């Protein structure tokens, strides 16, 4: 079969973009760790020497780094003045830690994927899992930084109000469990917003629980404990939340059954999962592409490394999630809210 030159050129063009993106991912990490994006956004148009001087870095390295960033569209180059700057949009995505569209955390998670690539090769051959605790620490910090901007932007203002009667309970004083809390970003956002309620973050990974306790600081209405989703203790919770974690679990049905037992009779389960359609063909888009890639390297291996090994994957889709919730004992499930990256499901007994 002969080659179609038009299709070949298109594919080669795609691969050139892919190679450039992969090579620049490490440079994004460098820019984030050294504060190059933040410094450039603060000082405005700058030469490589000016940026190097303000950031305490070497001018020759910074010149090459800036050139790569300009070629990627991450910073702006003024050919007439021979300086570099960041637009408001570039700064929001790369420089502003509090921006709801900051994407830096995803690049820190990528570092873990490349470090653990030999383990994944073996897992592909054997069918074994690679647990969250088996990855390097940059995965945990990267995951926190990737999801936290969305939680800060949407959780209190949009997602919780989309649930029936939940905000009133939280304002008056509710008991809340955040299952699979990781470093506690979601738990802390809720606890800070609703001081009359009590919150407990639950995660099976001890170092993440320790990090969550440290991040909570002096917040008096939040605590964290190490436990698995399928056997944590406690009852009478008005709200249980699971943020971007159900699909990682080896036994999601067991987790949901335990959550069902832990709820008060009129309690609510809120499940936040990556946005996905039910059919693969409908997920072949830029968002699905990112989620499938992370799912292959992180989510499916994590689930396969646990008992049952359901391996829902990050693109499970609403129908499969509803089936898990139904098997776990929930009879009323609805999509309460959504963003281009998330679906928010409300489940009630």
Query: Looking at the domain assignment, is residue 296 inside a domain?
Result: yes
Residue 153 reports pLDDT greater than 80? yes
End residue of a domain, out of 94, 127, 149: 94
The three-state secondary structure class of 90 is helix
Helices 206-216 and 185-193: angle between axes, nearest 10 degrees: 30
Query: Looking at the domain assignment, is residue 228 inside a domain?
Result: yes
Domain count, the chain: 2
Q: The CATH number of the domain where 140 resides is what?
A: 3.40.50.150
Q: Identify the bridge partners of residue 212 per DSSP, sorted by sequence position.
A: none
Are 52 and 181 contained in the same domain?
A: no
pLDDT at 139: 85
pLDDT in tens, 51-104: 999 999 999 999 999 999 999 999 999 999 999 999 999 999 999 988 989 998
pLDDT in tens, 94-133: 999 889 899 988 898 888 888 889 999 999 999 999 988 8
pLDDT in tens, 249-261: 999 999 999 999 9
Are 238 and 175 contained in the same domain?
A: yes
Are 268 and 298 contained in the same domain?
A: yes
pLDDT in tens, 187-228: 999 999 999 999 999 999 999 999 999 999 999 999 999 999
Query: How many angstroms separate the CA atoms of 247 and 226, rounded?
Result: 19
pLDDT at 111: 86
pLDDT in tens, 235-246: 999 999 999 999
Residue 142 reports pLDDT greater than 90? no
Q: Identify the bridge partners of residue 177 per DSSP, sorted by sequence position.
A: 200, 240
pLDDT at 72: 96
Query: Looking at the domain assignment, is residue 229 inside a domain?
Result: yes
Are 235 and 87 contained in the same domain?
A: no
Query: Looking at the domain assignment, is residue 100 inside a domain?
Result: no
Query: How many angstroms separate the CA atoms of 231 and 227, rounded?
Result: 7
Query: Looking at the domain assignment, is residue 125 inside a domain?
Result: yes
Are 118 and 248 contained in the same domain?
A: yes
End residue of a domain, out of 37, 70, 94: 94
pLDDT at 291: 95
pLDDT at 138: 76
Of 245, 276, 282, 252, give the one whose Cα is nearest residue 151: 245
pLDDT at 100: 87
Residue 1 reports pLDDT greater than 80? no
**Please, which pLDDT band fits residue 134 given cuts at 50, 70 and 90?**
confident
Are 322 and 204 contained in the same domain?
A: yes
Are 182 and 294 contained in the same domain?
A: yes
> What single string gives the DSSP state of each residue in 128-167?
----GGGS-THHHHHHHHHHHHHHHHHIIIIIGGGSTTHH
Instruction: Compute the average pLDDT of residues 150-165.
Output: 96
Are 160 and 293 contained in the same domain?
A: yes
Are 233 and 327 contained in the same domain?
A: yes
Query: How many angstroms separate the CA atoms of 220 and 1, rounded?
Result: 69
Domain with 240, as residue range(s), is 105-348
> pLDDT exceeding 90 applies to what percent of the chain?
87
End residue of a domain, out of 43, 68, 94: 94
Q: The CATH number of the domain where 82 resides is what?
A: 1.10.10.10
Query: Looking at the domain assignment, is residue 83 inside a domain?
Result: yes
Query: Looking at the domain assignment, is residue 301 inside a domain?
Result: yes
Are 207 and 64 contained in the same domain?
A: no
Are 85 and 118 contained in the same domain?
A: no
Query: Looking at the domain assignment, is residue 99 inside a domain?
Result: no
Are 77 and 173 contained in the same domain?
A: no
pLDDT at 140: 84
Instruction: Compute the average pLDDT of residues 279-305.
Output: 95
């Amino acid at each position: 079969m002969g080659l179609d030159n038009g299709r070949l050129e298109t594919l080669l063009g795609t691969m050139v973009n892919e190679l450039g993106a992969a090579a620049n991912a490490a440079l994004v990490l460098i820019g984030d760790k050294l504060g190059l994006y933040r410094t450039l956004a603060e000082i405005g148009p700058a030469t490589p020497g000016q940026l190097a001087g303000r950031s305490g870095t070497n001018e020759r390295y910074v010149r090459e780094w800036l050139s790569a960033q300009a070629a990627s569209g991450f910073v702006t180059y003024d050919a007439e003045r021979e300086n570099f700057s960041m637009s408001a949009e570039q700064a929001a995505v790369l420089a502003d830690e509090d921006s709801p569209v900051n994407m830096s955390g995803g690049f820190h998670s990528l570092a873990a994927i490349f470090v653990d690539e030999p383990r994944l090769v073996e897992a592909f051959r054997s069918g074994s899992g690679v647990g969250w605790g088996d990855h390097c620490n940059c995965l945990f910090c990267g995951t926190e930084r990737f999801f936290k901007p969305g939680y800060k932007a949407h959780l209190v203002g949009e997602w919780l109000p989309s649930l029936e009667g939940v905000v009133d309970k939280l304002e008056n004083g509710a008991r809340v469990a955040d299952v699979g809390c990781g470093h506690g970003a979601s738990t802390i956002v809720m606890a800070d917003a609703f001081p009359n309620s009590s919150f407990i973050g639950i995660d099976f990974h001890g170092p993440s629980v320790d990090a969550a306790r440290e991040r909570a600081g002096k917040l008096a209405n939040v605590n964290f404990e190490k436990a698995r989703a399928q056997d944590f203790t406690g009852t009478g919770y008005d709200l249980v939340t699971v943020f971007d974690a159900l699909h990682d679990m080896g036994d999601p049905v067991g987790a949901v059954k335990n959550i069902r037992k832990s709820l008060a009779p009129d309690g609510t389960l809120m499940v936040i999962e990556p946005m996905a359609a039910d059919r693969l063909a409908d997920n072949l888009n830029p968002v699905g592409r990112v989620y499938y890639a992370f799912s292959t390297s992180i989510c499916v291996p994590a689930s396969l490394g646990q008992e049952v090994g359901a391996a829902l994957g990050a693109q499970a889709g609403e129908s499969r999630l509803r089936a898990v919730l139904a098997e776990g004992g929930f009879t009323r499930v609805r999509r309460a809210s959504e963003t281009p990256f998330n679906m928010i499901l409300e489940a009630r007994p």
